[in-house]
C-alpha cells in the first residue's frame, strides 16, 4: 500500500471512539462472560454509594479492575462487579498463555483475545506485558486475523467522533495503527476509557487515565497507563517526536476470538 493511501487512512480514523448512543451501559458486569472466569472463584458485588475500588480493595484495586476489564471511572455506585473470593488468585492477573512456542523466533508479537478482552505483548514467545482492552461493539466489530503495526502516533485523535457532549475530537493517544479496511478506515490500538465491555467502533482501547483526567476530570490521580506502556514497548527502536510515522517492521498483531456482547 502506498504512503498516500496510508496517509488518507490515518486521516480517516472512524472506528475508534467510544460508543454512547448505540449501546446502553450494562449495570451487571457479572453477566459479561470470559472463558477464564471459570478458573477463578468469585462473587458478585453491587457497588454501594461512596464505595470505590480503592476503598474496597486497598492496594489490590488494580487487580480487581483488570479482572473486570474496567477502569475506575466506570466503577460507579449501582453496578455489579466480579470480586474474587481470594484476591491472590488475580495477582497481576492475565488470562493469556505465558508462552507461545510458535512465536519464539519473534522479538515482539501482540496477541489480542477478544473472548477474554485482553492483550498480551510477547518477546520471543514469552509473555512480557498483559492488559485488559475494550474492542469493537456488536455493530462495529474488531477485525480478526493477523496484521502488523504499520504506523504510530503518540498524539493521534479521531477524525469523526467527539468526546461526549463536546466538540473536542476524541483523543486516541499512543496510537498504533494495525489495519486499514477496504473502505480506507484505519484501525488502531490506542488509549481510551475501558468500561468493562466491548464498546468501541472497532479499535482496541487500553487504559489511559491521564487522558481521562484531562478530558473527564477523573480520576484525581491517574495511575493506569497501559496504552503508553504498550506504545513505548512497540516503538522503542524508532524515534518518536509526537508526529505520525509509518514503519515496515512493527510487531505482528494476531486477533482471535469473539467478545461477549
Q: Are residues 187 and 74 in the same domain?
A: no
170-196 per-position pLDDT tens digit: 889 999 999 999 999 999 999 999 999
pLDDT at residue 125 tops 60? yes
Which strand (E) or helix (H) includes residue 157?
strand 157-162
Structural domain including 8 reads 3-23+94-256
Query: pLDDT digits over 69-121, tens only?
Result: 999 999 999 999 999 999 999 999 999 999 999 999 999 999 999 999 999 99
Q: Are 39 and 14 found together in one domain?
A: no
Contact indicator for 260, 135 with CB cutoff of 8 Å: no
CATH of the domain at 165: 2.40.440.10
- Answer yes or no: is 169 within a domain: yes
Q: pTM of the entire structure?
A: 0.90
Q: Is residue 261 part of a domain?
A: no
Q: Is the dihedral of CA 94, 68, 113, 1 positive or negative?
A: negative
3-state secondary structure of 168: coil
The phi, psi pair for 46, rounded to 5°, reads -90, 120
- Asked if residue 132 and residue 250 are part of one domain, the reply reads yes
Which element (helix H / strand E) includes 210? helix 209-216
Give the pLDDT confidence of 213-243 residue by residue, as tens digits: 998 888 999 999 999 999 999 999 999 999 9
Q: Is 59 inside a domain boundary?
A: yes
Instruction: Report how far residue 94's alpha carbon sits from residue 150's, in angstroms, rounded to the nearest whole number.
Output: 26
133 and 84 co-located in one domain:
no
Q: Are 195 and 74 in contact (CB under 8 A)?
A: yes
End residue of a domain, out of 90, 113, 134: 90
Amino acid at each position: 500500500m502506498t504512503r498516500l493511501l496510508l496517509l488518507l487512512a490515518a486521516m480517516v480514523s472512524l472506528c475508534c471512539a467510544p460508543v454512547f448512543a448505540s449501546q446502553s451501559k450494562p449495570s451487571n458486569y457479572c453477566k459479561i462472560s470470559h472463558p477464564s472466569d471459570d478458573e477463578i472463584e468469585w462473587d458478585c458485588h453491587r457497588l454501594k454509594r461512596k464505595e470505590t475500588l480503592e476503598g474496597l480493595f486497598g492496594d489490590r484495586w488494580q487487580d480487581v479492575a483488570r479482572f473486570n476489564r474496567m477502569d475506575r471511572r466506570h466503577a460507579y455506585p449501582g453496578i455489579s462487579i466480579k470480586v474474587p473470593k481470594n484476591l491472590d488468585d488475580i495477582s497481576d492477573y492475565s488470562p493469556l498463555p505465558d508462552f507461545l512456542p510458535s512465536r519464539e523466533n519473534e522479538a515482539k508479537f501482540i496477541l489480542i483475545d477478544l473472548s477474554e478482552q485482553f492483550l498480551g505483548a510477547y518477546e520471543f514467545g514469552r509473555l512480557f506485558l498483559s492488559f485488559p482492552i475494550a474492542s469493537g461493539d456488536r455493530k462495529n466489530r474488531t477485525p480478526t486475523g493477523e496484521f502488523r503495526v504499520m504506523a504510530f502516533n503518540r498524539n493521534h485523535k479521531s477524525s469523526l467522533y467527539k468526546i461526549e457532549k463536546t466538540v473536542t475530537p476524541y483523543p486516541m493517544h499512543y496510537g498504533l495503527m494495525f489495519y486499514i479496511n477496504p473502505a480506507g478506515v484505519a484501525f488502531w490500538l490506542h488509549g481510551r476509557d475501558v468500561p468493562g465491555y466491548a464498546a468501541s467502533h472497532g479499535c482496541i482501547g487500553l487504559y489511559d487515565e491521564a487522558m481521562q483526567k484531562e478530558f473527564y476530570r477523573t480520576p484525581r490521580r491517574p495511575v493506569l497507563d497501559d496504552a503508553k506502556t504498550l506504545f513505548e514497548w512497540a516503538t522503542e527502536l524508532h524515534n518518536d517526536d509526537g508526529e505520525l510515522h509509518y514503519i515496515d517492521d512493527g510487531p505482528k498483531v494476531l486477533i482471535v476470538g469473539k467478545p461477549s456482547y
